[in-house]
Chains A and B, each alone.
Chain A
């Protein structure tokens, strides 16, 4: 059992100060913006909750929020199972281990705007491998003009970019399972499925918590990659929340409204993450 000791605060203090420095002041500033109408730094009026009421009634927010939820759901639904499968297929010893670790982490190391650029080129029907191949197979694929194609391309790009993160986390989780569990399962004549269901999956719970939460938060805030790839289009097919927000803040310089939007956005992420977090750590508290 952990002992109760408030002196432990001294150990946490540096983290608290460092994070608070970068977190609290900007947060207060944004709250401040969100209740004002700002024309320029010297001309501003207090408007109370007006921006919030306006935003909550704004169909643009509703549309991109729905798109955003569908997108994040797809991301999790594909990347988590795929990441687990890849982790299960990783070699367990030998030269294959460093080799596949390095290859797997490559997409994670590509700067995000380059990720967008790579897929922008590779998906083009005239000069890109994938676009060209799909079209010569007789599929009419064009991410720049067809909303469905654009949407799928953004999703595949995300899967390419981030599944490795889930896989790496799960792989290290799998490596912490002692061999004797697998031996016991063989003796008990467990099927492969039972080994996964009753040994591997329970031991992966903690890493999956991290993976699911990281992927949820980051996919919910995705900006750079689709911006480079499609610019949010065609139409608004790939305009996600943070792009709507950026248009509002920088495009129209509607700072007060954008600040209110940010805070609502922040609260949505906070709420969903809290639900994930409580649901996944719930059982441990009782145990």
Chain B
């Protein structure tokens, strides 16, 4: 059990990286605290698995250090780091039984037969694979194999951390949900650090206390699911978290303050000042669909026509195409009982939920507004 710290860590698969584009991981500092349940969330190709493999030692980082409890483990192999990792697709030892599979990591540590057996049964019970213990692993279904793979990760109780690399990809949805609960239970029972890689925000938020969102080789935000939802620090977090993602509008600074397609928007002076101080970057206004209000056309600065209504059962997503020159689509999420306006409608963004971004990064004042 350990705290895992990344210091100026970066990785490139090129021998001599010449620019940021050559890096699979851009330089980062980060801390996973002892005993936490974390998720590492991002689209495929953002560097999640690379980061995981560096933590476990399967990959040696090209720059920076990985520290377990303050000690550098850069030169240690995965064997020496004593860490567990579960992979995306099931890896089982075909010729062994399920029991032997689960016992394998413990046997390699030279533990006593009784201890191994007790541990194996405990884990098998937690994963509901007790009836399979004497079966050959080769003949299991994909679901069962993946549970055995996870079991091998969970069976060692002295590990520094358990890393999961999208472990539920091959599992059917029903079981997925149960297994996530199981993992959470196991986490609470054994108080071991867990890092869970996924591209599914629902999976991340049901498992983790804190989520690190990765984008293009960087951790762009690290926070609770609520923080990620309410205060995206980066436009990518806004776009990636939530369904649908945040509306983002390109805005400009005019004589009268913040303007969108020629319309002046009501924005607090403090923010306008902030934006003016850092002129020259790309300015964007972000607002979550949950907070967009559809009002009578005359009550709002921006108007448009309803393009599309998607009924999702418990809520509706309404696409409004604004009648401004660039004609962007604004998504609004309305309750099931709310009525959808016909024809021209006004669109209102409540001040408290407007977020402003310069070059994709949140403008700081917004925090104080909360």
Contacts and interface: CB of A to CB of B under 8 A. Distances in A.
Interface of A: 180-181, 183-184, 186-191, 194, 198-199, 202, 287
A287 B317 CA distance: 50
B352 to A, nearest CB: 47
Given A187-B78, A189-B79, A199 B84 contact: no
A76 B138 CA distance: 28
A186 B57 CA distance: 9
A198 B108 CA distance: 13
B136 interface: yes
B356 to A, nearest CB: 44
B105 A198 contact: no
A199 B96 CA distance: 10
B156 to A, nearest CB: 9
Given A187-B85, A287-B138, A180 B91 contact: yes
Query: Which of A183, A184, A188, A198 is the most central at the interface, judged by chain B CB atoms within 10 Å of its CB?
Result: A188
Interface string B137-181: 011000000000100110000000000000000000000000000
A188 B94 contact: no
A197 to B, nearest CB: 8
Given A183-B87, A186-B58, A287-B136, A191 B108 contact: yes
Contact of B96 (A180, A183, A198, A287): A198
B105 A189 contact: yes
A180 B104 contact: no
Interface size for chain B: under 10, 10 to 19, 20 to 34, or 35 or more residues?
A: 20 to 34
A202 B101 CA distance: 14
Contacts of B339: none
Contacts of A287: 136, 138-139
B188 interface: no
Residue of A180, A184, A198, A199 contacting most chain B CB atoms (<10 Å): A184
Interface string B116-139: 000000000000000000001011
B95 A198 contact: yes
Nearest to A186: B78
Contacts of A202: 93-95
A188 B138 contact: no
A157 B171 CA distance: 54
Interface of B: 53, 56-58, 77-79, 82-85, 87, 89, 91, 93-96, 104-105, 108-109, 136, 138-139, 149, 152-153
Nearest to A181: B91
Contact of B91 (A184, A189, A191, A194): A184
Contacts of B96: 198
A194 B104 CA distance: 10
Given A189-B108, A198-B96, A184 B79 contact: no
Contacts of A191: 108
A180 B89 contact: yes
12 contacts: A183-B58, A184-B149, A186-B58, A186-B78, A187-B84, A188-B108, A189-B78, A189-B82, A189-B105, A189-B109, A190-B108, A287-B138
Contact of A198 (B58, B77, B93, B109): B93
A199 to B, nearest CB: 7
A188 B105 contact: yes
A192 to B, nearest CB: 11
A157 B83 CA distance: 49
Contact of B79 (A180, A181, A186, A199): A186
A187 B56 contact: yes
Contacts of B79: 186, 189
A159 B151 CA distance: 45
A189 B108 CA distance: 6
Nearest to B109: A189
B87 A194 contact: no
A187 B83 contact: yes
A187 B109 CA distance: 12
A51 to B, nearest CB: 47
A191 B104 CA distance: 11
Contacts of B93: 198-199, 202
Nearest to A184: B91
Given A180-B89, A184-B87, A184-B91, A190 B139 contact: no
Contacts of B104: 188, 190, 194, 198
A202 B138 CA distance: 11
A287 B139 CA distance: 6
A283 to B, nearest CB: 9
A200 to B, nearest CB: 11
A189 B91 CA distance: 14
Nearest to B104: A188
A191 B109 CA distance: 10
5 closest A-B pairs by CB: A184-B91, A188-B105, A189-B108, A189-B79, A198-B93
B78 to A, nearest CB: 5
Contacts of A194: 104, 108
